[in-house]
A and B are shown apart, each in its own frame.
Chain A
Amino acid sequence: MSKKMKQLVAHVVVVVMMSLLLGGCSNGKETKVENQPSSSTADSSSKVESDSSETKREPITYTLMFAEHPSQPFKPDTWVFLDVIKEKFNVNFDIQPIPSSSYTDKVNMAIASNSITDIVNSVDLNTLNDMGGKGMFLNLWDYIDQMPNAKKAFDTIDYMAPCKLSDDQWYAIPSKVPHANMMKMSIDFITMARGDIMKDNGLSAPKTFDDLYGLLKSFKDLSPKSSPWVTRLGVNNMLYCLAPGVGITFDTDYTVYDFNAKSFSSALTDEGFRYLVEFMNKCYKDGLLDQEYAISDTKQWEDKIVSGKGFFAIDYFARPEMMTNAARTAGNNEYVLEAMLPPAKEGGEQKVYAKNEAVSYQGINAKVKSPERLMEVYDWWFFSEEGSLLGFFGKEDVSYTRKDKVISYKYSEDASNINDIASKYGTDYYGFMGLAPGFFDYTINYKNDESMSDALKNTFAVYDGQTVENRPVVIYSGDALEARKNFITNLQPYLDNEINKFIMGVRPLSEWDAFIKECNGKEFNNYIETKNSVHK
């Protein structure tokens, strides 16, 4: 190789390496946008524009971060609200799906670097209020005069008030909301057991905790190698579901609410709570509660409940139908996972808590372009009856049918249960739904819907009207928010851990009083005091 040639090669190598380095330093924004699946319905826009009354308004696109669960992926082609809102308002959403497992990390990183999308879905209410107060999220109250439906919602719906940070500060749009008649969105956890086996063996649904113990024992006798009670939810969610049965208003931070005194106190000193821990300890000791209950994940739980290694569970409202379908698809045509009311002892009720707060919230970037247009969309989408129908059920005659205010789900081959319908049409638990005041009158037709599965019908029938009042919602800010964060990182894992130890018998129940002292040493009392002061 000649000297000139060598020089030429050296130059080329240097230039290539420098460009690679600089390429690595660039922010890659353009490629990122290209790689993101976009909901912008560019191909249909021309048609929509010509058909729509919105043709005079400029099309506008808002970016939106969305938590995508692998079992319920984002489907831009079938999610109905995208087209409906495009058609009605000429507004597009550029949805950026982020795996739900790392969604919180990504949102928090975006917040820390002040680079959030126009709309951020599934954000904690305290975070929205905290960062909203600092100017990151749009104060929606500034636009309340042009949001008549939202204004009406604030006047009439209880759970709207906690969404506001102060009289003139509103950052959090409730986007997964409770609705008593819909039940699925107003009940957290329910109890369920193998109805087919109970019927074959003359077993009945338990009314008391002793009944439940007897039922679990019967299951164990029928299948000695099984662990009849299987779960995946973690200890405090199970306690939350069973707590109305011992007459307490339990919160998952191990506090109980006294409606008379209007204050929270420690669940650890409550007899009812102790009874629950003792009951679970007895079940664990006798091999009735899954020995792996504290470490089981969803997949393991599903395998156990479908394959007959478990017979009783506490889980979400849609699970009896989902698991029954899964077992039948696997070939067990007799399988029924049947919803039943939780047990109760004297002083308690066979009921579950009615949810009184939204499960998740959305925030709008304070720097969003044309906020007025977006607020117009939200006022309709989240706070009008039409918008609520869209968020809860999708499009009429596509994903649901209705007679007056009675809704029937519309099943299809690829959406044979209510979770699949939600997944296909982007409705329900995805967090794109609000609630208009008038929407409370709507009900689901479960009694006369022939296409609805028996498992779901039964779930609706068993839980219809079976809820009790839940503890009030406490909104933290400032120092109280610091204390709350401190509790969640430090004390909550400790409490979960110790309660598990008592249930598993790793720590004897004789040490309960010592445990209470330990908790006070770790400032549990101070946390409860802070919670009470914020509540009051």
Chain B
Amino acid sequence: MQATANSYVEKKKGILYFLKRDWMLYLIISIPIIHTFIFKYCPMGGIVIAFKQFNPMVGIFKSDWVGVKYFKQFLSDSTFWNVFKNTILLSIYNLLWSTPMPIFFALMLNEVRSTRFKKTIQTISYLPYFVSTVVMVGIIFQILSPTTGIVNHILSLFHIPPIMFMGESKWFRTIYIASGIWQGTGYSAIMYFAALTNIDQELYEAANIDGAGRWGRMIHITLPGIMPIIAVMFLLNIGNVLQVSFEKVILMQKPITIDVAEVINSYVYKRGLVGMDYSYGTAVGLFQSIISFVLLIFANKISKKLSETSLW
């Protein structure tokens, strides 16, 4: 009752009262808000060039309005649809393989009893994450080389003829995803390790008493315990589903693999920035963002219904 009365009094005092009273707190919070506004929202104004024939000499707003010309152009372009297909396939494979790996890794490591061993493995698994993409792709090229690479050397011991992994389209997606798993699994598992430590230990003790084995405990306690974080991570991954790593794709693609290696991000870069077709590039980029946004909302709704976990 007292609280209700207080909040009524505070409501009556109005926003100015609180601004004056807590001005320092508001000032501090204003920094990230201003930052986000300037660097995340203001540049969005530039999206308008997707609907204009951008001319740098007159600027964004004075360029000629062309409506959805560029959208029509790329939607009727067979190259774009091939690029779109590559992006979707790479993303889906990545989602299907890369999402469960850290969960699996975290669950397995959670079962290890030796703390020292567990921590050592954890540290080793983080390391690849800190290798820069350029270096990593360089390593990939080296170890997969048909003449000097160790992988082909091992294959040759089994009389398997050398395979040009980086020069054959059929290997591109496998190598992209496998190297991503190698690089990201340890680091992504951190979230799950954190979630695992929050599971009530009494649940395990109770399950022990009830005669549950390791497998039973993992399935009935550990996995449900980290399910909310799995759902959130999955949703965030869905939101990024079309955001295939631009840097890695550009570094990995060669003219010979371009039919599967060209994705929306690399296409936008080549067409928009290198080819100076800024409006076209922006239109494709905007299309990609809209698809991602729709996917995220859709996945969030499904998650809300199925697991009662959602981003908002």
Residues of A within 8 A of B (CB): 10-11, 13-14, 17-18, 21, 24-25, 104-105, 108-109, 111-114, 127, 130-131, 134-136, 227, 234-235, 291-292, 294-295, 309, 482, 485, 488-491, 493-494, 496-497, 500-501, 504, 506, 522
Interface window among B9-17, B31-39, B104-112: B31-39
- Contact mask for chain B residues 163-177; partner A; CB cutoff 8 A; 1 contact, 0 none: 010111000000000
> How distant is B212 from chain A, measured CB to nearest CB, in Å?
52
Residues of A within 8 A of B258 (CB): 493-494, 496-497
Q: Which of B255-270 contact A (CB under 8 A)?
A: 255-259, 262, 267, 270
The one of A112, A131, A491, A497 in contact with B259, judged by C-beta atoms closer than 8 angstroms, is: A497
- Specify the main secondary structure of chain A where it touches its partner: helix
Residues of A within 8 A of B167 (CB): 291-292, 294-295, 504
- Contacts A135-B57, A497-B259, A522-B78; is A105 near B274 (CB within 8 Å)? yes
Q: Is the CB of A114 within 8 A of B275?
A: no
- Contacts A10-B24, A292-B146, A292-B147; is A134 near B259 (CB within 8 Å)? no
Residues of B within 8 A of A506 (CB): 168
Q: Is the CB of A490 within 8 A of B276?
A: no
Interface check B79, CB cutoff 8 A: yes
The one of B78, B255, B273, B276 in contact with A500, judged by C-beta atoms closer than 8 angstroms, is: B255
Q: Which of B102-149 contact A (CB under 8 A)?
A: 141, 145-147
- Contacts A291-B147, A496-B255; is A111 near B56 (CB within 8 Å)? yes
> How distant is B257 from chain A, measured CB to nearest CB, in Å?
8
A sample of 17 more A-B contacts (CB under 8 A), given A493-B258, A497-B257, is: A14-B28, A18-B27, A18-B31, A21-B31, A25-B38, A108-B273, A112-B276, A134-B55, A134-B56, A291-B147, A294-B167, A294-B255, A295-B141, A482-B277, A497-B256, A497-B259, A501-B256
> How distant is B151 from chain A, measured CB to nearest CB, in Å?
14
Residues of B within 8 A of A295 (CB): 141, 164, 166-167, 254, 256
Residue of A113, A234, A491, A506 ringed by the most chain B CB atoms within 10 A: A506
Q: How far is the CA of A112 from the CA of B59 in the complex (A)?
A: 9
Q: How far is the CA of A490 from the CA of B273 in the complex (A)?
A: 15
Between-chain CB contacts (< 8 Å), 5 pairs: A111-B276, A292-B147, A292-B164, A489-B267, A497-B256
The one of A131, A291, A489 in contact with B271, judged by C-beta atoms closer than 8 angstroms, is: A489
Q: Is the CB of B35 within 8 A of A131?
A: no
Residue of B nearest to A133 (CB): B57
Interface check B77, CB cutoff 8 A: yes
> How distant is B149 from chain A, measured CB to nearest CB, in Å?
10
Residue of B nearest to A303 (CB): B148
Q: Is the CB of A494 within 8 A of B79?
A: yes
Interface check B285, CB cutoff 8 A: no
- Contacts A309-B147, A493-B262; is A500 near B256 (CB within 8 Å)? yes
Q: Is the CB of B57 within 8 A of A134?
A: yes
Residues of B within 8 A of A135 (CB): 57
Q: Is the CB of B255 within 8 A of A493?
A: yes
Q: How far is the CA of A113 from the CA of B267 in the complex (A)?
A: 21
The one of B34, B55, B57, B78 in contact with A21, judged by C-beta atoms closer than 8 angstroms, is: B34
> How distant is A453 from chain B, measured CB to nearest CB, in Å?
30
Residues of A within 8 A of B275 (CB): 485, 488-489
Q: Is the CB of A109 within 8 A of B256?
A: no
Q: Is the CB of B278 within 8 A of A112?
A: yes
Q: Is the CB of B56 within 8 A of A136?
A: yes
Q: Is the CB of A127 within 8 A of B271?
A: no
Q: Is the CB of A14 within 8 A of B24?
A: yes
Interface check B228, CB cutoff 8 A: no
Q: How far is the CA of A111 from the CA of B274 in the complex (A)?
A: 11
Q: How far is the CA of A292 from the CA of B167 in the complex (A)?
A: 7
Q: How far is the CA of A14 from the CA of B29 in the complex (A)?
A: 10
Residue of B nearest to A523 (CB): B78
Q: How far is the CA of A127 from the CA of B278 in the complex (A)?
A: 13
Interface check B162, CB cutoff 8 A: yes
Q: Is the CB of B147 within 8 A of A14?
A: no
Residues of B within 8 A of A113 (CB): 56
> How distant is B34 from chain A, measured CB to nearest CB, in Å?
7
Q: Is the CB of A291 within 8 A of B276?
A: no
Residues of B within 8 A of A18 (CB): 27, 31
Residues of A within 8 A of B145 (CB): 292
Q: How far is the CA of A109 from the CA of B24 in the complex (A)?
A: 40
Residues of A within 8 A of B57 (CB): 114, 131, 134-136
The one of B27, B56, B79 in contact with A490, judged by C-beta atoms closer than 8 angstroms, is: B79
- Contacts A21-B31, A21-B35, A497-B259; is A291 near B273 (CB within 8 Å)? no
Residue of A24, A25, A235, A292 ringed by the most chain B CB atoms within 10 A: A292
Q: Is the CB of A17 within 8 A of B31?
A: yes
Residue of B nearest to A134 (CB): B57
Q: How far is the CA of A490 from the CA of B262 in the complex (A)?
A: 10
Q: Is the CB of B255 within 8 A of A490?
A: no
Residues of B within 8 A of A112 (CB): 54, 56, 276, 278
Residues of A within 8 A of B38 (CB): 25
- Contact mask for chain B residues 55-82; partner A; CB cutoff 8 A; 1 contact, 0 none: 1110100000000000000000111000
Residues of B within 8 A of A294 (CB): 167, 254-256
> How distant is A126 from chain B, measured CB to nearest CB, in Å?
9
> How distant is B283 from chain A, measured CB to nearest CB, in Å?
14
Residue of B nearest to A484 (CB): B275
> How distant is A358 from chain B, measured CB to nearest CB, in Å?
20
> How distant is A447 from chain B, measured CB to nearest CB, in Å?
40
The one of A114, A131, A490 in contact with B77, judged by C-beta atoms closer than 8 angstroms, is: A490
Residue of A nearest to B253 (CB): A493
Q: How far is the CA of A130 from the CA of B277 in the complex (A)?
A: 12
Residue of B164, B166, B267 ringed by the most chain A CB atoms within 10 A: B164
Q: Is the CB of A291 within 8 A of B162?
A: yes
Residues of A within 8 A of B164 (CB): 291-292, 295
> How distant is B146 from chain A, measured CB to nearest CB, in Å?
5
Q: How far is the CA of A515 from the CA of B98 in the complex (A)?
A: 37
> How distant is A136 from chain B, measured CB to nearest CB, in Å?
6
Residue of A nearest to B30 (CB): A18
> How distant is A118 from chain B, measured CB to nearest CB, in Å?
17
Q: How far is the CA of A332 from the CA of B105 in the complex (A)?
A: 51
The one of A21, A108, A235 in contact with B274, judged by C-beta atoms closer than 8 angstroms, is: A108
Q: How far is the CA of A112 from the CA of B52 in the complex (A)?
A: 14
Residue of B nearest to A291 (CB): B146
> How distant is B102 from chain A, measured CB to nearest CB, in Å?
31
Residues of B within 8 A of A227 (CB): 147
Q: How far is the CA of A295 from the CA of B137 in the complex (A)?
A: 13
Q: Is the CB of B254 within 8 A of A14?
A: no
Q: How far is the CA of A269 from the CA of B110 in the complex (A)?
A: 64
Residue of B nearest to A501 (CB): B256
Residues of B within 8 A of A24 (CB): 35
> How distant is B255 from chain A, measured CB to nearest CB, in Å?
4
Q: How far is the CA of A284 from the CA of B272 in the complex (A)?
A: 36
Q: Is the CB of A109 within 8 A of B271?
A: no
Residue of B164, B166, B256, B262 ringed by the most chain A CB atoms within 10 A: B256
Q: Is the CB of A497 within 8 A of B255?
A: yes
Residue of A nearest to B254 (CB): A295
> How distant is A508 from chain B, measured CB to nearest CB, in Å?
16
Q: How far is the CA of A21 from the CA of B36 in the complex (A)?
A: 11
Residues of A within 8 A of B255 (CB): 234-235, 294, 493, 496-497, 500
Residue of B166, B255, B274 ringed by the most chain A CB atoms within 10 A: B255
